Amino acid sequence: MKISHIQSVFSGALALLIIGTISYLAIRGFQIPEILTQVALVIVGFYFGQAPYQRENKDHSQGAKQ
């Protein structure tokens, strides 16, 4: 297994854990700590910001193979 794949799986699992925790707290009616909200926003921003670059790199690597 490649290191980049392990990092991707780990970061995805961490993101799901944080988003799941926030969802659980909201559903149960607890107050969501501000730091948890900020971390979740950073994670969401990172994934949405990274997605266009991943698509662009994938398109370039496919073009090189053809």
Confidence of residue 31 (pLDDT cuts 50, 70, 90): very high
What tokens does 9 get?
């799986």
Confidence of residue 26 (pLDDT cuts 50, 70, 90): very high
Domain ranges of the chain: 3-65
What tokens does 55 get?
């698509």
Helix (H, G, I), strand (E, B) or coil at 55: helix
Judge whether 40 and 19 are in contact, CB under 8 Å: yes
Give the phi and the psi of residue 26 in degrees, each rounded to 5: -65, -45
Cα separation, 43 vs 37, whole angstroms: 10
Average predicted confidence (pLDDT) for the chain: 81
User: Would the pLDDT of 19 be above 80?
Assistant: yes
The pLDDT of residue 28 is 97
Reported as a single tens digit per residue, the pLDDT across 56-66 is 666 555 555 55
